Structure 1
């Protein structure tokens, strides 16, 4: 019998099991996307980039290896520890913080030439106001005219291609994933079964936004949307056929 979980889903789900569930998302894949991000941003080497919701640091490290000064922010102490372990030369500054309320010590305010928020790290919260809080933090972190890359699910594609159930094995561990769209959120229930241990359960819950909804929120925050891409390969965006909605824009002066 499952017990009632008092924490928010994102406070529980991003731990050791997250690394197992998303083991197929490796550094090679991240480096390919980082190259595309670099092409989009068109920033010189040495520019300052904030990776907001950096997780275990795949993209932050790729950006640092390309010559940028990178800060990675995430709420998960487990994933940040993995990032630090991978950053043997200490080239990235790692900060534990909620993306709705970044530290107000001055080090993250009007400091960055670009902010990236990648791999479906937007839409975690119950209300649109909280999602706007995230965009406001991005605005505050950027220098005037600074650029952003926001990588979210494409609602039309998700609605047409949702896989209700899948199951696979990773290192002998059975991972079962059930998916449903409910009240505007795509919800994934994850069950991890390992040997004779009791199953472990996790939830992921992400708000689906239309392109117009996203553009309206960006404008309300003080951003201008320059380009929208539909995939990690840089394909043109299509509301039904594109797997991703990747927005490139900049902070109004």
Structure 2
């Protein structure tokens, strides 16, 4: 049976997350550039690049960018949005990358971490980040803040978009935040409902820092959002970790 992340990042994902805009990605990249402190021309890996919004913004900022994702659909969208081939797009599982690098920086954004069942698999992802970074290379992992997520979880929501009714149910189960998505025709047209699951393991700061250390990575700073606010374990919406490989 296919894993949830092999099923959920298809055509319907483009509909569910169509509100993620290019300008927002550019603002986030502008902030990331200050945190990374890299010169123009640096090599950056966008790990789990999705449709490539951040990859393209990083290229526009003057970096040499590689975008990696497991989804054929999202990589297709990324390539269509990059007709000149300005970014190198590759398909790969994040646990086993198809190159050695070395990269000056690796970024992992929009909670593209915590997908797997075992801690060892998540540590393996961090070890791959370590492996493809050059010594002194920087990383950014933009993860959800567990306490904030649990306290403000919206159990259910519903909307209509492009003639489709999108129902989302969210829950905390066994240390994971889970979102169950159902998509149906809005006006009662024939067709079976499509169901998807998204599942992210909730790692508090202390455990995440342990896993980074296991992989040989050093945590330098944590930001609570992209407005340079310092991280507060209760009130920050994000846990944006910045660090480096020794």
- Normalised by the shorter chain, which TM-score bucket? over 0.9
Between the aligned partners of 2:229 and 2:13, the Cα distance in structure 1 is 29
- Partner of 2:97, secondary structure, is coil
State the shift of 1:234 in Å: 2.1
Correspondence list, 1:96-107, <5 A: 96-103=91-98
1:241 equivalent in structure 2: 235
1:154 equivalent in structure 2: 145
1:11 equivalent in structure 2: 6
2:129 pairs, out of 138, 141, 161, with 138
Between the aligned partners of 2:83 and 2:227, the Cα distance in structure 1 is 29
1:171 pairs, out of 159, 162, 167, with 162
1:200 equivalent in structure 2: 194
Between the aligned partners of 2:198 and 2:160, the Cα distance in structure 1 is 19
State the shift of 1:132 in Å: 0.4
Q: In 2, are the aligned partners of 1:157 and 1:242 still within 8 Å (CA)? A: yes
Q: In 2, are the aligned partners of 1:178 and 1:190 still within 8 Å (CA)? A: yes
Q: In 2, are the aligned partners of 1:49 and 1:113 still within 8 Å (CA)? A: yes
Between the aligned partners of 1:168 and 1:215, the Cα distance in structure 2 is 37
- TM-score (norm. length: structure 1): 0.94
Between the aligned partners of 1:38 and 1:203, the Cα distance in structure 2 is 33
2:37 matched to 1:42?
Answer: yes
1:116 pairs, out of 94, 107, 115, with 107
Q: Describe the superposition over 1:88-144 as per-residue Cα deviations: whole angstroms up to 9, x where unpaired.
A: 1111000100000111xxxx3141000000000000000000000100110011001
- Aligned Cα root-mean-square deviation (Å): 0.8
- Give the 4+ runs in structure 1 shifted more than 4 A: none
- Partner of 2:220, secondary structure, is strand
2:214 matched to 1:227?
Answer: no
- TM-score (norm. length: structure 2): 0.97
Q: How many aligned residue pairs are there?
A: 243
1:21 equivalent in structure 2: 16
Between the aligned partners of 1:193 and 1:233, the Cα distance in structure 2 is 37
Q: In 2, are the aligned partners of 1:123 and 1:131 still within 8 Å (CA)? A: yes
